[in-house]
Amino acid sequence: MNKGFLIAILAGLMPLQVLAGEYDISVDRVQIDTGDFVKEGIGYNGASPGPVLRFKEGEKVTINVTNNLDEMTSIHWHGLILPFEQDGVPGISFPGIKPGETFTYKFPIVQNGTYWFHSHSGFQEPNGAYGAIVIEPEGREPFRYDREYVVQLTDKHPHSGDRIMRNLKMSADYYNRQQQTVGDFFSESAEKGFMATLMDRMMWGDMRMMKADIEDVQGFTGLMNGKGPEQNWTGLFKPGERVRLRFINSSAMTYFDIRIPGLEMTVVQADGNNVQPVNVDEFRIGVAETYDVIVHIKDEEAYTIFAESMGRSGYARGTLAPEEGMTAEVPELREAPLLTMADMAGHMDHGDMKHDDMNGDNMAGMDHSDMGGNDEMDHSAMGHGSMDHGDDASLPEDPFYAKGSGLVPTASNGGKFLSYSDLKAQKPLYEDREPTREIELRLTGNMERYEWSINGIKYEDADPIVLQYGERVRFKFVNETMMTHPMHLHGMWSILEVGEGKWNPLKHVISVAPATTVYMETEVDAPGEWAFHCHLSYHAASGMFRKIVVEGGPDSTVAEGKQSGKQGGES
Amino acid sequence: MNPILKIAVLPAMILALSSGAHAAGNHAGGHHGGNVIGEPGNAGNVSRTVEVTMHDNYYEPESIHVQPGETIRFKVKNEGALVHEFNIGTADMHEAHQEEMQMMVEHGVLKGDHIDHDMMNMDMGNGHSMKHDDPNSVLMEPGDSREIIWKFTKATDLEFACNVPGHYQAGMYGDIKIDSTVAAKDRVEGESDSESVQ
């Protein structure tokens, strides 16, 4: 009873202490200089990337966004939990912001960590409209570090987003510069035999895919905090310091493998949520993900932050140095990985080619629907294990890649490469409970026509996914394509199934590798209408997108109080 | 097939662990006169008690001042939801111990929120087990309370630290400052030993 009384008093006092910050952001035409080329683009407050917005958990923010473009715009606060009208998706949350208009966002900050913001209109985001968000926690951080830097990555392309989309529609391999050549064919024939090589090529041809088709869009310059490799973004430190690096992947299309040769990194946060710390030598950051790492730098030397694209077609580079101008060696790009038969297994399962071409009888048995209701993340039970790929036995296994996949990352120094299986929540937000139902989402596409879809249906032809407030839904992603898709649910957390029960981590992007099945659960605790899509810009734009409608809500009196701002004794 | 594999792997791990304990034993025993971290203390010589609370993943306080020769009773409580260690040593000692702890994780002895005691106490013959029983450290599950009585000797770079993989790197360590003037000053001012660090 005493406790209740105390809480009542505190609740009465709280509003007096609520922080309220007001921020102004202008959306502008800007010049982007990557060092390789200069390109007109879109930025915030006159620059791309835009500012780092620093909020405090518990703060109520007011953000005035002024559109100085001659087209509609919007800002989506990526990963933030907020009322759906503030989420910034034109056509779902609001109509968008007209040229010359100022739209005022207002929402409470109810979380902490590293996030980002970007336009959700057209291809403004690939054209430069993105920035970082850092939210300081209400209590103390469960970390110790001496300084911190945001390290925001992107894949800046000399072509505009519209032009890239047109070219991809015209020819899906327009930007694939790593196509295999006749020369490759003969050298491979010498190694593996003519017939085997011919068969292999014919199968890949049948699927209208290339073995090297890991990145749809090559030919970009990797930027780190807006700087190209030659412009070398540099973060200073004093020897002996611990530095927190807040990595954000704001790329349109590019996954990066990140390492700092000579330093071990301790991953302490993923997608804004603290995780039980993991020491790694390298990690892969999917499009739209964030990872926070802490490094302890003991000596007075420079270190290269090297972010190599997953398909090895480009990189971003920066430096941690005790003083300006100091640099360290920049590693060579490693050899590009090639997709294997394992990576197309999901694709093959669905009748696009003849199974009798294959050297085994187990391909036809790879029915992912056998996995229904199985709580384990045991991908080895999916049947990939019986596929004989010959030379991949030495690759380490990662349950988040098809067994024998050509995409399984390895650390360049032979050390530890972070896996999704290593991610465990530091402090679970939700009680663990059984999901109320399961929704299967097959990630589908037709590479030749450059159409991407969910369950074979494009966004424009699809009904919304309807969820009920208060339920816990289990989503089953079955990737039937040969591309990796970073799936992003707005407004509610994605609880990634790593087989750790209540310690399963909270994320806002779930990366699904080719020919794998990945589960996530969502506590449906946010009423309204939300976007749910692949975060690869050109996949989302060509149809791998859904609207989510959450029906019902918290009891009506509370809901009314919320809307009129009368909640919680505010006066 | 699996059990055989496990047994083949375990002895290598025990050797590594016991060599760690041996090294710590040398420091603690003080037979060589040059011990750097101090030695287990006698309850009768305790001059004061320092309470240390473990959280996920940090300590309160994060800094302690002691005088040379002082014997302190550390009352350690794990108020976190994860397993934590309280270990007195130098940064180098902690680094070496982290490799052993990493092995404990890889072999399933040490889980995020509990310790597999059966596996840890298993008698592997030759007097070896995987017990984590160095006198300068305690490994604690959530809710555990333990005590260490420690006699500090001379000034050196000491830290108390949690060497559960990743925890030290994330910031779960505290500084032990051995300085007679500082300690005396603390006593006069009666201030808390804790210092706020980000």
DSSP states along A14-50: HHHH--EEEEEEEEEEEEEE-SS-EEEEEEETTBSS-
Nearest CA in chain A to B170: A143
- Residue pair A21/A63 in contact (Cβ under 8 Å)? The answer is no
Q: Do A277 and B58 touch (CB under 8 A)?
A: no
Confidence at B178, pLDDT banded by 50, 70, 90: confident
Q: Which residues pair with A115 in a beta bridge?
A: A133
Of residues A544, A548, A506, the one with CA closest to residue A529: A548
At residue A171, the pLDDT reads: 87
Rounded average pLDDT over A362-380: 40
- Indicate the residue of A144, A279, A424 with minimum beta-carbon distance to B112: A424
Q: Does B91 touch chain A (CB under 8 A)?
A: no
Q: Is B119 exposed, middle or buried (0-12, 13-18, 19+ CB in 10 A)?
A: middle
Neighbours of B147 (CB within 10 A): 12
- Indicate the residue of A144, A268, A278 with minimum beta-carbon distance to B197: A144
Q: Does B15 touch chain A (CB under 8 A)?
A: no
> For the stretch A125-152, what's the b/e string if a residue is b when 16 or more beta carbons lie within 10 angstroms of its beta carbon?
bbbbbbbbbbbeeeeebbbbbbebbbbb
Chain B: give the shortest CA distance to residue A138, in Å.
13
Of residues A526, A471, A508, the one with CA closest to residue A82: A526
What residue type is assigned to position A508 of the chain?
A: H
A283 or B157, higher pLDDT: A283
Q: Do B62 and A144 touch (CB under 8 A)?
A: yes
Q: Tell me what percent of the residues of chain A surpass a pLDDT of 90.
A: 73
Element holding A468 (H helix, E strand)? strand A465-468
Chain A: give the shortest CA distance to residue B78, in Å.
15
Give yes or no for residue A323 having a pLDDT over 50. Answer: yes
Confidence at A448, pLDDT banded by 50, 70, 90: confident
Give yes or no for residue A558 having a pLDDT over 80. Answer: no
Residues 58-87 of B with CB under 8 A from A: 58, 62, 81-82
Q: How far are the Cα atoms of A338, A473, B159 from residue B64, in angstroms, in the given order?
A: 55, 48, 9
Chain B residues inside the 8 Å CB shell of A145? 171, 198
Confidence at A195, pLDDT banded by 50, 70, 90: low
Reduced to 3 states (helix: H, G, I; strand: E, B; else coil), residue A79 is coil
Token match 């699809």: residue? A462
At residue A330, the pLDDT reads: 98
Q: Which residues pair with A53 in a beta bridge?
A: A133
Q: How far are the Cα atoms of A137, A141, A462, B53, B63 from residue B194, in angstroms, in the given order?
A: 21, 16, 59, 11, 5
- Indicate the residue of B55, B165, B173 with minimum beta-carbon distance to A142: B55
Chain B: give the shortest CA distance to residue A432, in Å.
15
Token match 């302690």: residue? B64
B116 or A101, higher pLDDT: A101
Confidence at A183, pLDDT banded by 50, 70, 90: low
Q: Does B181 touch chain A (CB under 8 A)?
A: no
In whole angstroms, give the CA distance from residue A183 to residue A518. 37
- Residue pair A565/A15 in contact (Cβ under 8 Å)? The answer is no
Confidence at A376, pLDDT banded by 50, 70, 90: very low
In whole angstroms, give the CA distance from residue A370 to residue A135. 42
Question: Which residues, 6 or more positions from A284, have their beta carbon under 8 angstroms from its beta carbon?
Answer: A255, A256, A257, A258, A310, A409, A417, A418
Nearest CA in chain A to B112: A276
Give yes or no for residue A564 having a pLDDT over 60. Answer: no
At residue A395, the pLDDT reads: 52
Q: Does B24 touch chain A (CB under 8 A)?
A: no
- Residue pair A514/A554 in contact (Cβ under 8 Å)? The answer is no
In whole angstroms, give the CA distance from residue A79 to residue A525. 15
At residue A146, the pLDDT reads: 97
Chain B: give the shortest CA distance to residue A294, in Å.
7
From A5-9, A225-229, A493-497, the region with the lowest mean pLDDT: A5-9
Give yes or no for residue A476 having a pLDDT over 80. Answer: yes
Which alpha helices (H) appear in A221-379, and where do they start and end? Answer: 345-348
Q: Do A142 and B169 touch (CB under 8 A)?
A: no
Q: Do A279 and B165 touch (CB under 8 A)?
A: yes
Give yes or no for residue A227 having a pLDDT over 80. Answer: yes
Q: Which residues pair with A528 in a beta bridge?
A: A550
What confidence tens digit (pLDDT) does each residue in B105-133 have? 888 889 899 999 888 877 666 666 667 77
Q: Are strands A472-479 and A437-446 parallel, antiparallel or unpaired?
A: parallel
What confidence tens digit (pLDDT) does each residue in B46-103 have? 999 999 999 999 999 999 999 999 999 999 999 999 999 999 999 999 999 999 899 8
What distance, in Å, lies between the first and last C-alpha atoms of chain A? 26
| Beta-carbon pairs below 8 A across chains A and B | 59
Q: Do B166 and A426 touch (CB under 8 A)?
A: no
At residue B88, the pLDDT reads: 96
Per the omega criterion (within 30 degrees of 0), is the bond before B57 cis? Answer: yes
What residue type is assigned to position A315 of the chain?
A: Y
At residue A176, the pLDDT reads: 79
At residue A68, the pLDDT reads: 98
Q: How far are the Cα atoms of A133, A271, A429, A516 from residue A290, in angstroms, in the given order?
A: 11, 5, 19, 22
In whole angstroms, give the CA distance from residue A7 to residue A456. 52
- Indicate the residue of B62, B113, B170 with minimum beta-carbon distance to A268: B170
Q: Do B169 and A294 touch (CB under 8 A)?
A: yes
Give yes or no for residue A499 having a pLDDT over 90. Answer: yes
Reduced to 3 states (helix: H, G, I; strand: E, B; else coil), residue A442 is strand
At residue A348, the pLDDT reads: 57
Q: How far are the Cα atoms of A155, A542, A546, A551, A552 from residue A466, in angstroms, in the given order?
A: 34, 22, 10, 7, 11
Averaged pLDDT of chain A:
86
DSSP states along A323-350: STT---PPPPPPPPP---GGGGHHHHTT
Q: How far are the Cα atoms of A166, A176, A374 from residue A370, in angstroms, in the given order?
A: 39, 35, 9
At residue A173, the pLDDT reads: 83
Rg of chain A in Å (alpha carbons): 24
Question: Which positions in chain A have a beta carbon within 8 angstroms of at least one beta carbon in chain B?
Answer: 140-146, 242, 264, 266-268, 276-279, 294, 296, 424, 426-427, 500, 503
In whole angstroms, give the CA distance from residue A145 to residue A149. 11
Averaged pLDDT of chain B:
77
Chain A residues inside the 8 Å CB shell of B169? 264, 266, 277, 279, 294, 296
- Residue pair A271/A80 in contact (Cβ under 8 Å)? The answer is no
In whole angstroms, give the CA distance from residue B195 to residue B63. 6
Which one of B97, B162, B169, B197 makes the best mutation probe of the A interface by having the most chain A beta carbons within 10 Å? B169
Chain A: give the shortest CA distance to residue B58, in Å.
6
Chain A residues inside the 8 Å CB shell of B62? 144
Element holding B14 (H helix, E strand)? helix B2-29
At residue A223, the pLDDT reads: 98
At residue A568, the pLDDT reads: 33
What confidence tens digit (pLDDT) does each residue in A267-297 have? 999 999 999 999 999 999 999 999 999 999 9
At residue A396, the pLDDT reads: 61
Chain A residues inside the 8 Å CB shell of B166? 266-268, 276-279
Q: Does B171 touch chain A (CB under 8 A)?
A: yes
At residue B34, the pLDDT reads: 44
Chain B residues inside the 8 Å CB shell of A266? 166, 169-170
Which one of A134, A143, A264, A421 makes the best mutation probe of the B interface by having the most chain B beta carbons within 10 Å? A143
DSSP states along B115-158: B-HHHHH---STT-------TTEEEE-TT-EEEEEEE--S---E
Q: In three state form, how does the secondary structure of B26-44 look?
A: HHHHCCCCCCCCCEECCHH
Chain B: give the shortest CA distance to residue A293, in Å.
9
Of residues A455, A461, A522, the one with CA closest to residue A490: A522
- Residue pair B192/B60 in contact (Cβ under 8 Å)? The answer is no
In whole angstroms, give the CA distance from residue B68 to residue B152. 6
At residue A20, the pLDDT reads: 84
Chain B: give the shortest CA distance to residue A400, in Å.
19
What distance, in Å, lies between the first and last C-alpha atoms of chain B? 49
Rg of chain B in Å (alpha carbons): 17
Q: Does B150 touch chain A (CB under 8 A)?
A: no
DSSP conformational letter for A317: E
Nearest CA in chain B to A297: B169
Chain B: give the shortest CA distance to residue A420, in Å.
16
Of residues B96, B17, B61, the one with CA closest to residue B173: B61
- Indicate the residue of A144, A278, A424 with minimum beta-carbon distance to B171: A144
In whole angstroms, give the CA distance from residue A539 to residue A443. 11
Confidence at A550, pLDDT banded by 50, 70, 90: very high
Chain A: give the shortest CA distance to residue B127, in Å.
32
Q: Tell me what percent of the residues of chain A surpass a pLDDT of 70.
A: 80
Give yes or no for residue A314 having a pLDDT over 50. Answer: yes
Of residues A123, A122, A312, A331, the one with CA closest to residue A222: A312
What residue type is assigned to position A3 of the chain?
A: K
In whole angstroms, give the CA distance from residue B2 to residue B6. 6
Q: In what order do the strands lie in the sheet with B84-90?
A: B63-66, B173-178, B158-161, B84-90, B137-140
What residue type is assigned to position A236 of the chain?
A: L
In whole angstroms, give the CA distance from residue A107 to residue A85. 10
